Amino acid sequence: KQEVTQIPAALSVPEGENLVLNCSFTDSAIYNLQWFRQDPGKGLTSLLLIQSSQREQTSGRLNASLDKSSGRSTLYIAASQPGDSATYLCAVMDSSYKLIFGSGTRLLVRP
């Protein structure tokens, strides 16, 4: 059974810092990995999608990497801003086409 773990559960950093969020998964047989952002009381917004054959994806200040063999992904946020404060969720699409989510990392960027 696929399990997705995110570390840390919560993170507080001062504005301007570069930071890394971690995601690990137990079964390397995945179709893709996605990073989402969730603001309080809102739905999820897709940030980056990495296909299983890819190693990384970039969008603006965000960079996500994927090491399928080791079951790990990282989300790198450069020059963090207070507006980046949210919960970040990692999800993998498994061999049965189900998207399995981690429990998320709550990020607070302090002005």
Partner 1 sequence: DAGVIQSPRHEVTEMGQEVTLRCKPISGHNSLFWYRQTMMRGLELLIYFNNNVPIDDSGMPEDRFSAKMPNASFSTLKIQPSEPRDSAVYFCASSPGGASREKLFFGSGTQLSVL
- Interface residues with partner 1 (CB under 8 A) are 31-32, 34, 36, 42-46, 49, 51, 89, 91, 93, 96-104
Output 71 or 104, the one with its CB closest to partner 1: 104
Angstrom distance (rounded) from CA 15 to CA 78: 10
Angstrom distance (rounded) from CA 10 to CA 57: 23
Output 76 or 101, the one with its CB closest to partner 1: 101
Angstrom distance (rounded) from CA 64 to CA 4: 16
Shortest approach of partner 1 to residue 4 CB, angstroms?
A: 9
Angstrom distance (rounded) from CA 78 to CA 41: 25
Q: Which backbone phi and psi does 84 adopt, to 5 degrees?
A: -80, -10
In this structure, the chain runs to a length of: 111
Output 18 or 51, the one with its CB closest to partner 1: 51
Shortest approach of partner 1 to residue 12 CB, angstroms?
A: 20
Pairing of strands 19-25, 4-7: antiparallel
Shortest approach of partner 1 to residue 100 CB, angstroms?
A: 8
Shortest approach of partner 1 to residue 6 CB, angstroms?
A: 10
Output 18 or 59, the one with its CB closest to partner 1: 59
